[in-house]
Amino acid sequence: MPADGVAEWVSETLLRAGAPLHNPDHAHLIDADVAYLWAAVENVRQMRRVVGQCEEVMIRAGGWQRARQEQQLCEWFGRVPAFLITLDAHYARECSDLEWCALVEHELYHIGQRLDDYGAPAFTKDGMPKLGIRGHDVEEFVGIVRRYGVAGGAGDTAKLVAAAQRAPEVGHVDIARACGTCILRAA
């Protein structure tokens, strides 16, 4: 079901310049067409609870299936949005404010601005940012850790930060002694 009020909250809290939790990392999303849904059914993937999912809306069906999917989106949102963020309603009810903000921003980080052939941000003919889905990357983790730390819902990100703060378990010398190519180079 549509997550009424979430789009407005995101805009007024995270996207708008001067917003209480404004994040300039999301500047390309100010005019993005993003809709939000509540999921009342638990989603587990690879033995992990999924509490949010961002997707670019691409209806890969034809005929009646396509029409039915478009009709459903139009009934919910008055349009077929470009992006859809689905949030676990049960998690949203039980998580802290900090975890909620981190979840929403995590999903927003998945909507990235495409790059042109020269590596610069790409724009449409109308001057709008060209957007697409990006996977998990270092920038996203850095942004979440910078803003929310590694506590709470950070999960594996917290483990990554802790591992980075420790001395390596295996050093370059250990690898050189065990690697056939390195041993040949030393000979």
- Rounded to an integer, what is the distance from CA 58 to the centroid of its chain? 17
Helix (H) or strand (E) holding 133: strand 131-133
User: Which tens digits make up the pLDDT trace of 27-68?
Assistant: 999 999 999 999 999 999 888 889 999 999 999 999 999 999
Which amino acid does the sequence have at 72? Q
| pTM strictly above 0.85 | no
pLDDT score for 35: 98
The residue extents of the domains of the chain are 6-154, 157-187
- Rounded to an integer, what is the distance from CA 67 to the centroid of its chain? 28
Question: Please, which residues have CB within 8 angstroms of residue 173's CB and are 6 or more apart in sequence?
Answer: none
Give the 3-state secondary structure of residue 57. Answer: coil
Of the chain, the percentage scoring pLDDT greater than 90 comes to: 68
Taking only Cα atoms into account, the Rg of the chain, rounded to an integer number of angstroms, comes to: 21
User: Which tens digits make up the pLDDT trace of 103-143?
Assistant: 999 999 999 999 999 999 999 999 999 999 988 777 667 78
Between 37-41, 144-148, 168-172, the lowest mean confidence (pLDDT) is in 168-172
Q: What share of the chain is helix, strand, coil (3-state, %, to 5)?
A: 45, 20, 35
pLDDT score for 177: 61
CA atoms within 13 A on the CB side of 15: 19
- Strand bridging mode 83-88 / 34-39: parallel
pLDDT score for 186: 59
